[in-house]
């Protein structure tokens, strides 16, 4: 007996059953717990019975897996399990099917009274469910199913009633198994990677579960060990295998002040790392949470399918009543009542969306729910914020120009700006910090940074209040004028460079110019979008009109909005939507929050800000523009499957209903055709799930933390 009451109840070579008293706690988030337990290497499936306080593992039979399961359960405490409303996943039960088959085989050999009694016992659950549904929810398909089977049993057609009931059970079993398959495969995408970490505490190294590492603690990682946190290298040098994160086959060298990501593995060397993001705040965990949340989001299509499915119940009821009034044939009435549109419509649509989300994730694309898929499939206009999308987001500092030479040197200007910009999470900040590191400049102490979204930053430094941001921010908000430096500004802008303006209260201090380069795949991506039916391509940029027009002609872009300040981006999108266009906006997240919201579909590049990725409907998890047409293709394919499945469900079930109404189909044939159609459409909705085994560890994780010193 363990401290948590764990007890092994039963064991076979590939199956373990435990009793664990804490499972009776109704506040446990069982979805989290199932996912956590399934993440143990070698575990194939987990089943939790809350009422029996038991958990069952199907595993690969290896002793190492068995020991890992025992270790995980022994260390499980209530405080480690999040609270939530999620119940344990209900498995598809095969026992009722076996019971129905046994009864069908025995039926010919039983006397009539026994046949009748056992038939009503067998179908009793369906009859009770139908009555309960009628009382609680009104006329739904469960009511019609109960009437249809009850009519056959009442007329003494015991074999027909039991066969029909068995076919309904079989259809429900297969539907549930299909749903369970989609849930399990998506949970593989979300599964955590539990492990242990060596942490400095009290002057010694202690080994703790990696989800117990605290912010700013020092972690040591050696050869063959997985890095448990997102953090900053404080000491050591190592070759890190990042293939599980970026797909790069060649190990990457990491040394002092380099940023490392949870989930990567050290091949050679040893690192001492300061934890910056831990547990649920690591980049992989945040993406997992995005995907988990996306599965809960419905869509207009899904809601419409549910409404139409409920309406079809009344169509079935009305048709059955009309046929019975004409013919008085209870057999036809039972056959008609077994035609169920709702399963294929209500289940097929969300399963198709799950399939789309899964397929997209396998390509490095996060689609946040069915609504994102629905809107993305309909777009006819794509608006690109040039910097970081059509061009690389790897900006580099090209010029550091001091305007106040009496008080400032170039080195001081760059060092102070970098010391403040390290608190921002966007490519401009990263480029400035990287430049300061390359020049081995010291970190400059400063006060608290005040960040105004889409404008700039202010911060006290050595008695001055430094202002960093756009020209508009410094001039309009703080009265710092750059009119006397128009010639220098014009030269830099003519070269297509991005400018960061630096000043103090009432005084212009300097300019930092950054440049970017066109992505190699940009022309091919734009051509691909044309082929996919995107009729209008638009570019937003702060560049001067002449340079913006030249780039647009080179790329074949239809419309250009040049010399745009950040706050004008959302206004441009609203203008395009007012023209009747369905607009997707693609941005790198720098000052893009309002535009991402204003578009029909907001698409964030991987290296944008945390706010942008949270706001966007679609996140490209790798820094590749060619994922954009991939995302649109997945959305279009998903909606095509939804539409064709809808037509098939309506067409086939209507044909079955006509056959039943005309007396051509018996209740057994009707149930067989209906359930076969439903299962076939569900499988089709999920097609492609088995074609890829995506993992969060296969996608490039956006960088949203920067070194705090150089």
Reported as a single tens digit per residue, the pLDDT across 145-154 is 777 777 777 7
Structure tokens at 373: 């898929």
| Distance in angstroms (rounded) separating the CA atoms of residues 101 and 91 | 20
Using 50, 70 and 90 to split pLDDT, how confident is the model at 696? very low
* Mean pLDDT taken over the chain: 78
| Strand positions, DSSP E, 193-287 | 196-201, 204-209, 218-221, 230-241, 252-254, 259-260, 265-277
| Helix orientation angle between 283-295 and 342-362, rounded to the nearest 10 degrees | 160
- Give the pLDDT mean for 115-131: 86
Element holding 48 (H helix, E strand): strand 43-49
pLDDT at 501: 94
Using 50, 70 and 90 to split pLDDT, how confident is the model at 187? low
* 578 has pLDDT over 80: yes
- Nearest to 421, CA basis, from 371, 457, 386: 457
Using 50, 70 and 90 to split pLDDT, how confident is the model at 69? confident
**DSSP structural state of residue 201:** E
Tell me if 284 sits within 8 A of 228, measured CB to CB. Answer: no
Tell me if 584 sits within 8 A of 379, measured CB to CB. Answer: yes
172-181, 344-353, 452-461, 652-661: range with highest mean pLDDT: 652-661
- Give the pLDDT mean for 260-282: 79
Which tens digit of pLDDT belongs to each residue from 544-564?
Answer: 787 788 788 889 999 998 877
Output the CA–CA distances (angstroms, integers) from residue 499 to 138, 469, 513, 577, 613, in the order listed: 65, 9, 5, 30, 24
Catalytic one of 310, 385, 588, 592: 385
Strand-by-strand arrangement of the 601-604 sheet? 365-367, 618-620, 601-604, 583-587, 381-385, 536-540, 559-561
169-183, 305-319, 391-405, 593-607: range with highest mean pLDDT: 391-405
* 383 has pLDDT over 90: yes
**DSSP structural state of residue 22:** G
Q: What share of the chain is helix, strand, coil (3-state, %, to 5)?
A: 50, 20, 30
Collapsed DSSP state (helix, strand, coil) of residue 217: coil
Using 50, 70 and 90 to split pLDDT, how confident is the model at 689? very low
Percentage of the chain beyond pLDDT 70 is: 78
Better pLDDT: 457 or 345: 457
Element holding 504 (H helix, E strand): strand 498-504
What's the angle, vertex CA 548, arms to CA 544 and CA 551, rounded to 5? Answer: 150
Better pLDDT: 368 or 691: 368
* 423 has pLDDT over 50: yes
Which tens digit of pLDDT belongs to each residue from 589-615?
Answer: 556 667 777 888 988 887 655 556 666
The residue assigned the tokens 């579909």 is: 601
pLDDT at 641: 85
- Give the pLDDT mean for 15-37: 81
| Distance in angstroms (rounded) separating the CA atoms of residues 302 and 359 | 19
- Nearest to 703, CA basis, from 254, 268, 246, 288: 246
- Nearest to 51, CA basis, from 15, 83, 71, 25: 25
Phi, psi values for residue 688, rounded to 5°: 100, -15
Using 50, 70 and 90 to split pLDDT, how confident is the model at 248? very low
- Active-site annotation holds for 258: no
Better pLDDT: 687 or 430: 430
Using 50, 70 and 90 to split pLDDT, how confident is the model at 287? low
pLDDT at 574: 87
Class of domain 7-80: alpha beta
**242 φψ region: left (φ > 0), alpha (ψ -120 to 50), beta (else):** alpha
| Strand positions, DSSP E, 573-613 | 583-587, 601-604
Architecture, CATH, for domain 363-391+519-626: 3-Layer(aba) Sandwich (3.40)
Element holding 526 (H helix, E strand): helix 522-531
Classified by CATH at the fold level, domain 396-515 comes out as: Calcium-transporting ATPase, cytoplasmic domain N (3.40.1110)
Spatial neighbors of 62 by CB under 8 A, at least 6 apart, are: 42
pLDDT at 188: 55
| Distance in angstroms (rounded) separating the CA atoms of residues 617 and 613 | 8
* 703 has pLDDT over 60: no
* 106 has pLDDT over 60: yes
Q: Are 7-80 and 396-515 the same fold in CATH?
A: no
| Distance in angstroms (rounded) separating the CA atoms of residues 382 and 395 | 23
* 695 has pLDDT over 50: no
The 3-class SS string of 427-443 reads HHHHHHHHHHHHCCCCC
Which tens digit of pLDDT belongs to each residue from 172-181?
Answer: 666 566 566 6
Q: How remote is the C-alpha of 69 from its chain's centroid?
A: 28
Better pLDDT: 93 or 374: 374
Percentage of the chain beyond pLDDT 90 is: 13
pLDDT at 707: 30
pLDDT at 303: 62
* 278 has pLDDT over 90: no
| Distance in angstroms (rounded) separating the CA atoms of residues 354 and 370 | 8
pLDDT at 334: 79
| Distance in angstroms (rounded) separating the CA atoms of residues 143 and 128 | 9
Pairing mode, strands 15-19 and 7-12: antiparallel
Longest dimension (CA), the chain: 110
Spatial neighbors of 233 by CB under 8 A, at least 6 apart, are: 254, 255, 256, 257, 258, 259, 260, 271, 272, 273
pLDDT at 224: 76
- Domain map (residue ranges) of the chain: 7-80, 363-391+519-626, 396-515
Determine which of 236-245, 461-470, 483-492 has the lowest per-residue pLDDT on average: 236-245
Which tens digit of pLDDT belongs to each residue from 211-223?
Answer: 778 888 899 998 8
């Amino acid at each position: 007996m363990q401290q948590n009451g764990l007890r092994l109840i039963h064991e076979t070579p590939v199956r373990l059953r435990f009793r664990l008293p804490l499972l009776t706690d109704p506040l446990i988030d069982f979805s989290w717990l199932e996912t956590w337990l399934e993440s143990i290497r070698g575990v194939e499936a987990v089943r939790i019975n809350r009422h029996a306080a038991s958990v069952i593992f199907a595993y690969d039979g290896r002793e190492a897996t068995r020991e890992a399961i025992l270790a995980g359960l022994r260390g499980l405490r209530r405080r480690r399990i999040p609270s939530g409303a999620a119940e344990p996943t209900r498995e598809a039960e095969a026992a009722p099917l076996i019971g129905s088959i046994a009864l069908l085989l025995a039926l010919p050999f039983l006397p009539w009274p026994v046949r009748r009694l056992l038939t009503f016992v067998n179908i009793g659950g369906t009859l009770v469910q139908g009555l309960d549904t009628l009382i609680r929810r009104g006329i739904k398909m469960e009511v019609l199913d109960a009437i249809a089977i009850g009519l056959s049993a009442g007329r003494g057609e015991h074999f027909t009633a039991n066969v029909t009931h068995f076919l309904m059970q079989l259809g429900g079993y297969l539907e549930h198994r299909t749903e369970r398959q989609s849930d399990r495969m998506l949970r593989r995408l979300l599964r955590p990677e539990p492990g242990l970490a060596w942490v400095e505490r009290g002057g010694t190294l202690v080994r703790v579960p990696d989800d117990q590492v605290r912010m700013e603690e020092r972690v040591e990682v050696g050869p063959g060990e997985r890095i448990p946190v997102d953090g900053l290298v404080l000491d050591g040098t190592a070759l890190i295998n990042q293939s599980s994160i970026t797909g790069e086959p060649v190990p990457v060298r990491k040394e002092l002040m380099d940023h490392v990501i949870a989930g990567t593995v050290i091949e050679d060397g040893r690192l001492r790392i300061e934890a910056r993001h831990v547990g649920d705040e690591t980049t992989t965990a945040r993406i997992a949470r995005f995907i988990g949340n996306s599965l809960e989001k419905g869509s207009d299509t899904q809601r419409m399918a549910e409404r139409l499915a409920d309406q079809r119940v009344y169509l079935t009821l009305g048709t059955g009543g009309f046929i019975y009034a004409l013919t008085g044939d209870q057999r036809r009435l039972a056959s008609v009542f077994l035609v169920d549109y709702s399963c294929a419509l209500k289940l097929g649509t969300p399963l198709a969306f799950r399939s789309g989300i899964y397929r997209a994730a396998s390509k490095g694309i996060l689609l946040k729910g069915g609504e994102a898929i629905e809107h993305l499939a309909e777009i006819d206009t794509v608006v690109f914020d040039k910097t970081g999308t059509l061009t690389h987001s790897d900006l580099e500092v090209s010029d550091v120009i001091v305007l106040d030479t009496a008080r400032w040197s170039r080195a001081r200007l760059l060092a102070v700006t970098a010391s403040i910009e390290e608190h921002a999470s966007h490519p401009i900040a990263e480029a400035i910090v990287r430049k300061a590191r390359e020049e081995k400049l010291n970190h400059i102490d400063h006060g608290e940074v005040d960040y105004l979204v889409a404008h700039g930053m202010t911060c006290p430094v050595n008695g001055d209040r430094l202002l960093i941001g756009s020209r508009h921010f410094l001039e309009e908000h703080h009265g710092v004028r750059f009119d006397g430096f128009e010639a220098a500004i014009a030269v830099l802008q003519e070269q297509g460079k991005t400018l960061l303006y630096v000043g103090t209260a009432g005084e212009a201090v300097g300019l930092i110019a950054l440049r970017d380069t066109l992505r190699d795949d940009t022309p091919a991506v734009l051509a691909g979008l044309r082929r996919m039916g995107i009729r209008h391509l638009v570019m937003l940029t702060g560049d001067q009109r002449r340079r913006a027009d030249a780039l647009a002609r080179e790329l074949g872009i239809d419309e250009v909005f040049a010399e745009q300040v950040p706050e004008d981006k959302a206004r441009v999108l609203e203008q395009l939507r007012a023209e009747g266009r369905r607009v997707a906006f693609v941005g790198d997240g720098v000052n893009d929050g309002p535009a991402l919201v204003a578009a029909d579909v907001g698409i964030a590049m991987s290296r944008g800000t945390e706010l942008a990725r949270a706001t966007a409907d679609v996140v490209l998890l790798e820094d590749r523009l060619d994922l954009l047409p991939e995302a649109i293709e997945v959305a279009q394919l998903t909606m095509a499957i939804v539409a064709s499945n809808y037509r098939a469900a309506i067409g086939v079930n209507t044909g079955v209903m006509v056959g039943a109404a005309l007396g051509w189909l018996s209740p057994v044939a009707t149930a067989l055709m209906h359930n076969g159609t439903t299962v076939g459409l569900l499988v089709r909705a999920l097609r492609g799930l088995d074609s890829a085994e995506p993992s969060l560890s296969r996608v490039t994780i956006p960088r949203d933390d920067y070194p705090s010193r150089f």
